[in-house]
Structure 1
Amino acid sequence: MTTRRSFLAGAGAVAVTGLAGCGALDGPRGEDTPSIDSSEFQDGLPPLPTTAAPLPITIPASLVDPHRRRARELVESVPADPSIPNGVVAREIDRDQDRVQQRLESGSDATFEIDVLRDWRHTRGNAANLLGSYRAATGNDDGEAVSERRTAVREDLGAFTADLEYRASDPVEAVLVYATLENLLEDVRRQARPERPYPESPIDAVEQAGRAVEETEDAESSLADARAIHQQYLDRRDTTESQWSTLIEGTRVLSIATDTTRQTLDGYQEYEAETVFDRDVGRVAARLFRDASRRVQSGEGAIGEYRRRGDGAFASALLEAGRDLAAMAVYRSVYRAIEDDDVNEDVTASSIRSSAADARSAIAALEEADYPHLSVAIARAGMGGYDDARRSLDERYFDAEDAEASLRYATMYARVAPEAATYLVERLRTVTE
């Protein structure tokens, strides 16, 4: 059995190897580091590798088809050269039309199937916004239709959630599947009850009208995906039982563990390393500290918020607990390395490429973890560091130290994720014993 203390010690030892970049942890350097020309990275960084999915089932490509068809149908309902009295609005709609067409052609380059599905929902929503804006700009009022569609979505949502028993083959799969559903259903609730209604005079509020139509479309597509994913999962499991009570008790146990762990951390309430350590630190160290402390701060109170959402988003709360524990292990390693002057500040084109390779390797290795799907689901909270690095290497925003720090953070987070997953699984087992 992995205790909370042994988890932190073991995960910290794994994480700290991600601090070095391509050098040893032998203190800050960089005073004579040569400047890096952004042209070195004009082709960017390689994409993330294929690894285990964050869900225990494969999402069939066919689930994308309704979104693609609907998006094309919506776009094709807008004339290629629309006649709109307001010239400013006409130009905006023309630009939006081009953007949506480009998205239809390019599709999605997301790493995970669940994100491909999300991207197509987004494209479908953009297409609905385009049509809604066009109709408002040409004197049409869709207020009644939008209201009826929203009412229908809310009724369908109520019926779906009333029958949702959180059935799964085991608690871990329940966390993975129902955290995904909880997030989709929360989107539906928000989109079906927007803060800004369809305008009374749409021709005078074209943007608001388009947004209202988009939110309604988003609510319908999110609910459709939630239903489809749920059914896909149940169809692929011979035996399932309700995991609801296990998730509730597991959330209570993990909430205590995360709160207790957070109390052992120093300085995470601050974003700036210089404030915590009362001295100047290198730029890589400063950025690492900011990323690590920000993630720990964002997790504070998040589990409670999930528990209070609707009837309780307990699967999401448990997944957040795993991510929170991983984030705290990374933070502890970053803190100690800065405290001991053990963050390598040498940043070169070679070191960035090496750190990027380390990040890809750590993410690819998640497939070999004891609990690969859960490890990936936890690690996704840190994978954004790789995308951050890619943006930092864009010639428009080029910042080599930021890129280096982001890559090291992504590596560290991916390396501790399997330990956090194991800890989470073991806590759930104690609940069911």
Structure 2
Amino acid sequence: MTRGSGSDRAWDSRRQFLAGAAAAGTAALAGCSGLPFTGDEERQEAPVSLSADAVGSIDWPASPFPVTVPASLADAHEARARGLLDDVPVEPELPNAAVATAIGDDREHAMRRVEAETADGWPVDALSAWRRRREDAAEVRAAYRAATGTDDGSELAARRRAVREDRASLAGDLEYRAESPTAAVLAYEPVESLLAECARHVRPRVTYPADPVADPFRAGEAVSGVERASAAAADAEGLREAYLDERGGRDGTAPRWASLVAAAEGLRGSVSRTRSTVRERTGGEEPFADEDLSDTVAQELVAVAELGVGSTAEDVERATDAGEYATAVVEAGIALAECEAYRRAVDEIRDGEHREYPTESSVRSAAERARATVGEVVDRDDPLATRLVRPGLEIVGYVADRIEQGYGSARRSQAELAYADLYASAVPAVTEFVRERLERGSVGGSEETFVSNRPA
């Protein structure tokens, strides 16, 4: 069970979405009234103790990245991280004993991370983990060098310029060459994510100190960001070259940039229209304003679904505006599935579902349904559908981890699992909608709404 990501930004967004759902659930429907319980009394949720295995594990499918990710990329990160830490003594001898102790502790922690196994997930997730480990190792080494009186400021500035130039060269040569527009999305979404990661970390958010000895940890932080940026640029180049090499290089592929631009722009319009249509059909911003769903699974489900509708749509806008067209297509597919999951959640609650108070048995049943629905999508052996169902995989894994660690509430867990089920069930139709627009190769059709011909 893991939630690694080919895009740290994507998972951070998902994690914030899930974390926010709990707080939102309590207040989202406050003040609503009208749902009868027993007489005029409202039942309070009884404490439910969930077993650590209440959700169970979920197997990750094969990666949707079209070719094998070279093991050499992770090997390079590991070698670099170990080399950086080898330059730092296990027990540093420094004039400042407190700094020496802190650097020694940081080295130990960084080495433990280097020696730990990477979590389950896709190969691009393992690369993300290794980049973070390499960043940590660079921070320790730079702090040690600063504490010993070595000023790396000039070297850091030169390296920052070199990384920026490498990134600009790769981004400028990104033609999205692939055998089809759909393949281009799957091959270049992680490349775009890596280029964005490089751009974020190469910026001098923390400046190298004028007196490194006086502020060694600031020096470490400044150096670590450029190390992370360099690692991201190397992975972006490595993934692109691995894909092109296995697909016959430039002779075996064709530029798909124009198709992706058209699809991204058209899907952005579809997401906007779909959101508006769903709002209209479900009753606006507060579809249950006249009902009291307090303490029910439905209350949490509405909150989770509501956050989903808004958060991913913003990612579509950001990616499109940034020119990350493969990412925009993926985010649009996710946003459309989020809209459909919200619509279905509201319909089911109106039909009397999800209004119960949770038990361990009901949580287990919700987990079984979520795992089964996600599994059905994966079993289609459609890489695009596998990529789009990833949020469902992440939600199930996130809930399982939280319960296993002993702080998962039954109501919130059941609502999130129900949402994962609804989301995954929407993915097959969304996948075909997205694929049609990719293969169409023009903006025509951007007026289409995903739910236009589906029952309300």
Q: Is the 8 A contact 1:96 1:130 kept in 2?
A: yes
Q: Give the aligned partner of residue 49 of structure 2.
A: 37
Structure 1 residues 50 and 391, CA, compared in 2 at 3 Å: closer, same or farther? closer
Structure 1 residues 283 and 243, CA, compared in 2 at 3 Å: closer, same or farther? same
Structure 1 residues 223 and 338, CA, compared in 2 at 3 Å: closer, same or farther? same
Q: 129-138 or 234-243, which moves further after superposition? A: 129-138
Structure 1 residues 277 and 203, CA, compared in 2 at 3 Å: closer, same or farther? farther
Structure 1 residues 135 and 358, CA, compared in 2 at 3 Å: closer, same or farther? farther
Structure 1 residues 186 and 276, CA, compared in 2 at 3 Å: closer, same or farther? farther
* Alignment counterpart, residue 359 of structure 1, candidates 365, 370, 384: 370
Letter of the 1:325 counterpart = L
Letter of the 2:48 counterpart = I
Cα-Cα RMSD = 2.9
* Alignment counterpart, residue 275 of structure 2, candidates 262, 268, 280: 262
Query: Is 1:299 paired with 2:304?
Result: no
Shift of 1:171: 0.3
Q: 82-91 or 399-408, which moves further after superposition? A: 82-91
Q: Give the aligned partner of residue 95 of structure 1.
A: 105
Structure 1 residues 267 and 394, CA, compared in 2 at 3 Å: closer, same or farther? farther
Identity in percent: 33
Letter of the 1:339 counterpart = R
* Alignment counterpart, residue 108 of structure 1, candidates 74, 96, 118: 118
Shift of 1:218: 0.7
Letter of the 1:316 counterpart = T
Report the number of matched residues: 402
Q: Is the 8 A contact 1:28 1:345 kept in 2?
A: no
* Alignment counterpart, residue 399 of structure 1, candidates 409, 428, 432: 409
Structure 1 residues 354 and 339, CA, compared in 2 at 3 Å: closer, same or farther? closer
For 1:381-400, what per-residue CA distance to the aligned partner results, in whole angstroms no more than 9, with x for missing partners?
33331233134314552422
Matches within 5 A, 1:205-244: 205-238=215-248, 239-244=252-257
For 1:7-45, what per-residue CA distance to the aligned partner results, in whole angstroms no more than 9, with x for missing partners?
xxxxxxxxxxxxxxxxxxxx999959764335x21x675
- Normalising to structure 1: TM-score of the pair? 0.84
Shift of 1:246: 0.7
Shift of 1:261: 0.6
SS of 2:128 mapped into structure 1: helix
Shift of 1:350: 3.0
Structure 1 residues 295 and 170, CA, compared in 2 at 3 Å: closer, same or farther? same
SS of 1:203 mapped into structure 2: coil
- Normalising to structure 2: TM-score of the pair? 0.80
Give distance in 2, aligned partners of 1:215 and 1:268. Answer: 47
Q: Give the aligned partner of residue 183 of structure 2.
A: 173
Shift of 1:273: 6.8
* Alignment counterpart, residue 349 of structure 1, candidates 344, 357, 360: 360
Letter of the 1:65 counterpart = D
* Alignment counterpart, residue 295 of structure 2, candidates 282, 289, 300: 282
Give distance in 2, aligned partners of 1:212 and 1:51. Answer: 37
Query: Is 1:246 paired with 2:256?
Result: no
For 1:156-213, what per-residue CA distance to the aligned partner results, in whole angstroms no more than 9, with x for missing partners?
1122222221100000011111111111001111211232222222233333211111
Structure 1 residues 98 and 426, CA, compared in 2 at 3 Å: closer, same or farther? same
Q: Is the 8 A contact 1:129 1:214 kept in 2?
A: yes
Q: Give the aligned partner of residue 18 of structure 1.
A: none
Q: Is the 8 A contact 1:273 1:290 kept in 2?
A: no
Give distance in 2, aligned partners of 1:307 and 1:51. Answer: 28
Letter of the 2:263 counterpart = G
SS of 1:265 mapped into structure 2: helix
Query: Is 1:323 paired with 2:334?
Result: yes
Structure 1 residues 68 and 45, CA, compared in 2 at 3 Å: closer, same or farther? farther
Matches within 5 A, 1:44-55: 46-55=56-65
Structure 1 residues 28 and 86, CA, compared in 2 at 3 Å: closer, same or farther? farther
Give distance in 2, aligned partners of 1:259 and 1:161. Answer: 28
Give distance in 2, aligned partners of 1:330 and 1:363. Answer: 13
Q: Is the 8 A contact 1:139 1:202 kept in 2?
A: yes
Structure 1 residues 344 and 392, CA, compared in 2 at 3 Å: closer, same or farther? farther
SS of 1:266 mapped into structure 2: helix
SS of 2:67 mapped into structure 1: coil
For 1:240-299, what per-residue CA distance to the aligned partner results, in whole angstroms no more than 9, with x for missing partners?
1000111111112112211111112339999x9797455233342222222211121113
Q: Is the 8 A contact 2:54 2:364 kept in 1?
A: no
Structure 1 residues 87 and 269, CA, compared in 2 at 3 Å: closer, same or farther? farther
Q: Give the aligned partner of residue 19 of structure 1.
A: none
Higher relative contact order (CA 8 A, sep 6+): 1
Letter of the 1:349 counterpart = E
SS of 1:347 mapped into structure 2: coil
SS of 2:277 mapped into structure 1: coil
Structure 1 residues 350 and 274, CA, compared in 2 at 3 Å: closer, same or farther? same
Shift of 1:77: 1.3
Q: Give the aligned partner of residue 13 of structure 2.
A: none
Give distance in 1, aligned partners of 2:427 and 2:134. Answer: 33
Q: Is the 8 A contact 1:389 1:406 kept in 2?
A: yes
Give distance in 2, aligned partners of 1:90 and 1:290. Answer: 48
Q: Which runs of 5+ in 2 are unaligned?
A: 1-35, 445-456
Structure 1 residues 276 and 85, CA, compared in 2 at 3 Å: closer, same or farther? farther
Q: Give the aligned partner of residue 333 of structure 1.
A: 344
Q: 194-203 or 259-268, which moves further after superposition? A: 259-268
Structure 1 residues 220 and 350, CA, compared in 2 at 3 Å: closer, same or farther? same
Shift of 1:119: 0.7
Q: Give the aligned partner of residue 28 of structure 2.
A: none
Q: 45-54 or 244-253, which moves further after superposition? A: 45-54
Structure 1 residues 267 and 335, CA, compared in 2 at 3 Å: closer, same or farther? farther
Give distance in 2, aligned partners of 1:323 and 1:280. Answer: 27
Give distance in 1, aligned partners of 2:193 and 2:289. Answer: 35
Q: 274-283 or 233-242, which moves further after superposition? A: 274-283
Q: Which runs of 5+ in 1 are unaligned?
A: 1-26
